[in-house]
Amino acid sequence: MSGAVFDHPWLSGLFGDADMAELLSGPRQMTHMLTFEAAWSRACGAAGIFDPELAEQAAEAIARAQIDFDDIKAGMAADGVPIPRLVKQLKALAPPEAVHKGATSQDVVDTALVMTLREGSLLIGGQLMALETHLKALEAKFGDAPLMGRTRMQAATEITVRDRLLSWRLPIKDHLVTLDQKRADVEKLQIGGASGDRKALGDKADQVMAEMAKALNLAPNDKAWHAMRHGIAGYASFLSLVTGSLGKIGQDIALMSQQGIETISISGGGRSSAMPHKQNPVAAELLVTLAKFNAAQVSAMHQAVVHEKERSGTAWSLEWMVLPQMLMATARALKTANTLVQNITWIGDKQA
Amino acid sequence: MSGAVFDHPWLSGLFGDADMAELLSGPRQMTHMLTFEAAWSRACGAAGIFDPELAEQAAEAIARAQIDFDDIKAGMAADGVPIPRLVKQLKALAPPEAVHKGATSQDVVDTALVMTLREGSLLIGGQLMALETHLKALEAKFGDAPLMGRTRMQAATEITVRDRLLSWRLPIKDHLVTLDQKRADVEKLQIGGASGDRKALGDKADQVMAEMAKALNLAPNDKAWHAMRHGIAGYASFLSLVTGSLGKIGQDIALMSQQGIETISISGGGRSSAMPHKQNPVAAELLVTLAKFNAAQVSAMHQAVVHEKERSGTAWSLEWMVLPQMLMATARALKTANTLVQNITWIGDKQA
Amino acid sequence: MSGAVFDHPWLSGLFGDADMAELLSGPRQMTHMLTFEAAWSRACGAAGIFDPELAEQAAEAIARAQIDFDDIKAGMAADGVPIPRLVKQLKALAPPEAVHKGATSQDVVDTALVMTLREGSLLIGGQLMALETHLKALEAKFGDAPLMGRTRMQAATEITVRDRLLSWRLPIKDHLVTLDQKRADVEKLQIGGASGDRKALGDKADQVMAEMAKALNLAPNDKAWHAMRHGIAGYASFLSLVTGSLGKIGQDIALMSQQGIETISISGGGRSSAMPHKQNPVAAELLVTLAKFNAAQVSAMHQAVVHEKERSGTAWSLEWMVLPQMLMATARALKTANTLVQNITWIGDKQA
Amino acid sequence: MSGAVFDHPWLSGLFGDADMAELLSGPRQMTHMLTFEAAWSRACGAAGIFDPELAEQAAEAIARAQIDFDDIKAGMAADGVPIPRLVKQLKALAPPEAVHKGATSQDVVDTALVMTLREGSLLIGGQLMALETHLKALEAKFGDAPLMGRTRMQAATEITVRDRLLSWRLPIKDHLVTLDQKRADVEKLQIGGASGDRKALGDKADQVMAEMAKALNLAPNDKAWHAMRHGIAGYASFLSLVTGSLGKIGQDIALMSQQGIETISISGGGRSSAMPHKQNPVAAELLVTLAKFNAAQVSAMHQAVVHEKERSGTAWSLEWMVLPQMLMATARALKTANTLVQNITWIGDKQA
């Protein structure tokens, strides 16, 4: 255990999100990789690249394979990717001539990633919709209440609670639209083979692509995106924009919670070890922290778009370090925002 | 002169772009701000908020106003925005009761920004299309030539030049689609007044919005986006993805230009002060530099989405520091890429 | 398990470092926190703030306390810090009047962090020294060999292997000097109490500080650094400079490994799932990836220096998310560099 | 004019700093480069590499050379560096055999940079000392006043104004110590020649180094630091830590200025175009903005430490884009902080 907050024995209580962690867990990623390999065997069987019967045998064996993670871990340091060892394990369980041939590590790892992103997108989409609903409910309850508008933190002119809440809710609505665009940008099959040209598939490339698309429900495409990473980085940008908008909500709430301002009341809230009476806006602050975190990470994802030639070991593995964390931070922020918004018991200026 | 590369007496020879610089220049920004103020006077005149005749007089006076930039500069440090001084200047030239009333600094500055982004988007869009064309031409010329594929910088399997060029061109095609999405996200009127609630316009808010939308050809909207900055940050992300994709082209070319690899020939190229015979892949390297630059800047733009309450002085002015530079870097990268691609005289493995 | 690479079931084979992970593990952090609390009881006993006998009882009970991590985790989400629950657990095991009183969450968490940094610094220092040694050995072996110098990736003039190796080794030497400076900057007691003013300690503050400094072997100071985070961010900058220098080594080696350049030979190296004959410079690439990763993270640590008033929940917890990862990345990079440099079997131009 | 805030016709009123801009201006940079070239001619003359008489003639001609910046700008795009054209101009004015020979572009540009940094460090050091003085004066005036401590923005326990002011002042003191360390890290001669090995100087390298060190008052060294950029990036980190600490002061002041909190009074302050009565904490906000800006830029400087082989065109020119801006932001922040602190007319809780 490396001290990473999402999995930490106690810090995960603040930063962790069990649902997204499940989607990003090793076993689930492995399931996606096995799903790819099984579908691959079948698709190559259907296309006549593999013997169809052996292909079916392989697919079935792959589907029920028990993978030795420690062996794969041992291979990571040497190979930089998990697939050589995984394939070796699979070939011991299934007809080797009907396993993986024609595919490459990046096909498996990226397609599995895309399957993870699809699941993550559903989680995020659901949370965004819930947040929109909770914000509407808040508006219905307190929208008409007067509230001193604050520009540059200074009292400006009186607005209504609705005015501020709209600046919380409308971005969520926009993010739901963007999510659909981004899903279309990333939910694409990754099939290229050794140097990304599908040459190993010969004239069966289109058929294999079609079979795989059907099996995995991912968009087929004319060219592997091994070295074209703007889609992934664009997805990461979306995540950071979501946490940015939630950070704005958190920042507002933390400011509104200050004694002397006190234009919001929240049930729950944090204790202090030195001052047991004190109530800290922990959830609101967490939204700001997660926004700042993702805003730093997004830079790494953009650096990784410079992906040299047919495959960059450096840029690709930088994505592995960063993107899962951005998903975790986004999921945690959304869940925190949903709870926080529901815990608001009053919003508006104190009555005179 | 602060040493900023885009305007530097000689560094601008490498980093500058005259066309984008013109769009970002003070005088042009001022024109947009005056366009806003003139349209505002007329719109408020049409809505009966201002006396229509005075409004027309004001609009005409504003349109031909000679602005004293030094006075505005003097106001910046005190006010943090140019508008109080600008309005004071305008009121000296035009019927004061028909100037700016009901609007706020952010309405003017953000709407002017959006007009700049529209012009910038056209420039970028045109350059993206040109690049797509030049890359297609390159493909037509050299696409069939054999080329050793390189994964993790290592020789992998033979591909064709077309395979590599597709990883250069297809992202450009995608960016053109994204540009349209992003334009829709940002080309929106900014009208909110003091605290962003349009209250100063009373029941004429919708009419003013409609008149302004018509006059400025920007999308009307139900709520000022003063404190909702995901659109602007999303646009910045787009810029960085573009330079990222161009950085990939540059990185590839720099690597291909190495003696010992030599799978590309380019006319032109850089001299060395110590080795006059040497030819450096300056343009290719510049693409990598600009990609890394924007990938760092994009982080600041995402940090700025956390925009507190009705207006954040800190987050808003952070955008001013960063976004123009990203536009400059993107424009320069596109122009450099267009020239560089046209200067390619050979691409592919050396014949044995 | 959240997909974080350092703890991932197989990705940790590439990214993980068992030694640093041990230092950053929850149990070890807890040991530091208990060490603080036990020393605190004794110091307050010695100063007469606590009853000395009860204080000693408390210290002994704290030292052998079995902490329920799940309980603390449950408290994290509500409190934003682990200490309220920890103190509650300790008070159930020890005389409550001689536990924690006068201290605050940040005193415990930051002092424990500093104890972690001290251990981490030793690990890093040792690895830096080993690397310096291995680089010297390499120089002794191959230093005189001719090597074509490369500027802007282009062949320039012939240098010796020594010339390039010096640009790998001299930064390491500098980093060892900087490490000492940075250790002095951070290895400081954090004692402030509720609002950081040590008021709860009355006129015994200096004595408590002295006792704690002796017990924990950390520098005493006149003022808690709760809200002064430049030391921590400066330490993070140091980590990123180290990985930057190692990234330069990695980048050089990856470039030197290219077929057509081939000025280095390395034993070991990565396999490909599609091309079993291929050898990938995985370790060299990893150094580049870790450098880019830390260069992004360092931005977050600098953002966190803006730490409002007496304690910022947002800035402080941003450090928790980022600093442990930077330590992990640095440790992994150092170990990788040490192995990689020892695996070099040849460096220099191929003989004609 | 590219819209860059530091030179902008009116935004520079908020962001610009005339003193640092002067240090970073093209003409001053050119003076440093000419100083290098003149010293180089003399040093090589003294060492007998150049004919001493011609060398002296050359040095004198270089010292009074009128440089055509447009010509150099024209060379930048092609060469990526200003020196080939500069040398050509100089050779037209001076005995060509006694000009530049044995040096390379990076020697000139980096040594000139270091001369700029030395001047910038003096400016920064002076401002840091002034700020320390002003903060001490503030403490003398208001230090004993009671102030409600705020942790996580919430009222905690009463402290004194001194307690908060110490968290503003002590980091400044630390930064002055660090400035000395960083100056030692960067104020080093850059002399390497074509591939950085000083081979062109033969056995006169040490003598040339000694002469240059004496002439330019910069530290001699055993190896050119062409490809070792941790010193420069460490200096950039220092700048960002300074603005971070000033950002903390600004954030505190902005929060203290809120109506309802009102624990600070400041003379001057910003106007609003919509609410002429309103006073905005513009200077305080600017400090936060500049901190966030530098915290993003520092990431680019760390990315640039990965500097391939003997010279990286990409990493080196990334420094050019970023470091001058960080110097400008730091200078502006320091001057703003100094003014702001002097404008404080009251600090502390309002008396009951």
Chains near A with 3+ CB pairs less than 8 A apart are B, C, D
Q: Looking at the predicted structure, is the pLDDT value of residue C77 above 90?
A: no
Cα gap A100→A98, rounded to integer Å? 7
Cα gap C167→D225, rounded to integer Å? 7
pLDDT for res B279 = 76
Q: What mean pLDDT, rounded, does chain C reach?
A: 96
ipTM of the complex: 0.97
Interchain CB contact of D350 with C (< 8 Å): no
Q: Looking at the predicted structure, is the pLDDT value of residue C352 above 70?
A: no
Are A149 and B196 inside 8 Å of each other by CB?
yes
Contact D210, C170 (CB under 8 A): no
Are C280 and B157 inside 8 Å of each other by CB?
no
> Could you say which residues from 55 to 94 on chain B have a Cβ atom under 8 Å away from some Cβ of chain D?
69, 72-84, 86-87
Q: What digits encode the pLDDT tens for the residues D32-48?
A: 999 999 999 999 999 99
Are D312 and C163 inside 8 Å of each other by CB?
no
Closest CA to B153 of C278, A190, A131: C278
SS3 B159: strand
Taking residues D11-22, report their average pLDDT. 97
Interchain CB contact of A156 with B (< 8 Å): yes
**Residues C186-216: b if buried by 16+ CB within 10 A, e if exposed:** bbbbbbbbbbbbbbbbeebbebbbebbbebb
A180 CB contacts (<8 Å, ≥6 apart)? none
Closest CA to C13 of B109, D275, A75: A75
Interchain CB contact of A2 with D (< 8 Å): no
Taking residues B10-22, report their average pLDDT. 97
Residue A67 phi, psi dihedral angles, 5° rounding? -90, 140
Q: What digits encode the pLDDT tens for the residues C152-174?
A: 999 999 999 999 999 999 999 99
Interchain CB contact of D288 with B (< 8 Å): yes
- What single-letter DSSP state applies at residue D311? B
Residues of D with Cβ-Cβ distance to A272 under 8 angstroms: 151, 156
Interchain CB contact of A164 with B (< 8 Å): yes
- Å between D305 CA and nearest CA of chain C: 5
Residues of B with Cβ-Cβ distance to D317 under 8 angstroms: 14, 285-286, 289
pLDDT for res B289 = 98
Q: What digits encode the pLDDT tens for the residues B84-103?
A: 999 999 999 999 999 999 99
Taking residues C68-94, report their average pLDDT. 96
Are A295 and B309 inside 8 Å of each other by CB?
no
Interchain CB contact of A29 with C (< 8 Å): yes
Residues of A with Cβ-Cβ distance to D152 under 8 angstroms: 254, 270, 280-282, 285
Question: Does the predicted model carry a pTM greater than 0.95?
Answer: yes
Interchain CB contact of B42 with A (< 8 Å): no
Structure tokens at C266: 């390395």
pLDDT for res C3 = 78
pLDDT for res A3 = 78
Q: Looking at the predicted structure, is the pLDDT value of residue B23 above 60?
A: yes
pLDDT for res D77 = 86
Residues of A with Cβ-Cβ distance to C82 under 8 angstroms: 10-11
> B148 forms bridges with which residues in the sheet?
B158
Taking residues D121-136, report their average pLDDT. 98
Interchain CB contact of D230 with C (< 8 Å): yes
Taking residues B26-35, report their average pLDDT. 98
Interchain CB contact of B327 with D (< 8 Å): yes
Taking residues B146-152, report their average pLDDT. 96
Beta strand segments in chain A, E: 146-151, 154-160, 264-266, 344-347
D315 CB contacts (<8 Å, ≥6 apart)? B289, D229, D303, D304, D305, D306, D307, D308
Taking residues D158-186, report their average pLDDT. 98
Q: Looking at the predicted structure, is the pLDDT value of residue D352 above 60?
A: no
Contact B200, B100 (CB under 8 A): no
Q: Looking at the predicted structure, is the pLDDT value of residue C275 above 80?
A: no
Closest CA to B188 of B125, B126, B230: B230
The lowest-confidence range among A268-272, B163-167, C221-225 is: A268-272
Environment class of A195 (CB within 10 Å of its CB; exposed 0-12, middle 13-18, buried 19+):
buried
The lowest-confidence range among A93-102, D7-16, D274-283 is: D274-283
A224: Cα within 13 Å, side-chain hemisphere: 28
Q: What digits encode the pLDDT tens for the residues D203-261?
A: 999 999 999 999 999 999 999 999 999 999 999 999 999 999 999 999 999 999 999 99
Smallest Cβ–Cβ distance between C306 and the set D185, D251, D308 belongs to D251
352 residues of chain A, pLDDT tens digit each: 677 899 999 999 999 999 999 999 999 999 999 999 999 999 999 999 999 999 999 999 999 999 999 999 999 988 999 999 999 999 999 999 999 999 999 999 999 999 999 999 999 999 999 999 999 999 999 999 999 999 999 999 999 999 999 999 999 999 999 999 999 999 999 999 999 999 999 999 999 999 999 999 999 999 999 999 999 999 999 999 999 999 999 999 999 999 999 999 998 766 666 666 677 899 999 999 999 999 999 999 999 999 999 999 999 999 999 999 999 999 999 999 999 999 999 999 976 5
Q: Looking at the predicted structure, is the pLDDT value of residue B276 above 90?
A: no
Structure tokens at A33: 């990789």
Taking residues B36-43, report their average pLDDT. 98
- Å between A144 CA and nearest CA of chain C: 30
Contact C290, C327 (CB under 8 A): no
> A151 forms bridges with which residues in the sheet?
A154, B311
Closest CA to B119 of B21, B49, B12: B21
Kindly tell me the sign of the dihedral angle through the C-alpha atoms of D85, D88, D93, D94: positive
Q: What is the DSSP string of A143-158?
A: TTSEEEEEETTEEEEE
Q: Looking at the predicted structure, is the pLDDT value of residue D319 above 90?
A: yes
Contact A152, A187 (CB under 8 A): no
Smallest Cβ–Cβ distance between B87 and the set D273, D312, D328 belongs to D273
Are A167 and B296 inside 8 Å of each other by CB?
no
The residue among A14, A148, A150, A154 with the most chain D CBs within 10 A of its CB, best to mutate, is A154
Contact C212, C112 (CB under 8 A): no
Give the helix ranges, DSSP H, for A98-146.
105-142
The residue among A5, A273, A282 with the most chain C CBs within 10 A of its CB, best to mutate, is A273
Cα gap B153→C154, rounded to integer Å? 16
pLDDT for res A297 = 98
Smallest Cβ–Cβ distance between D300 and the set B3, B105, B292 belongs to B292
Give the helix ranges, DSSP H, for D190-312.
205-216, 230-256, 282-303
pLDDT for res C271 = 62
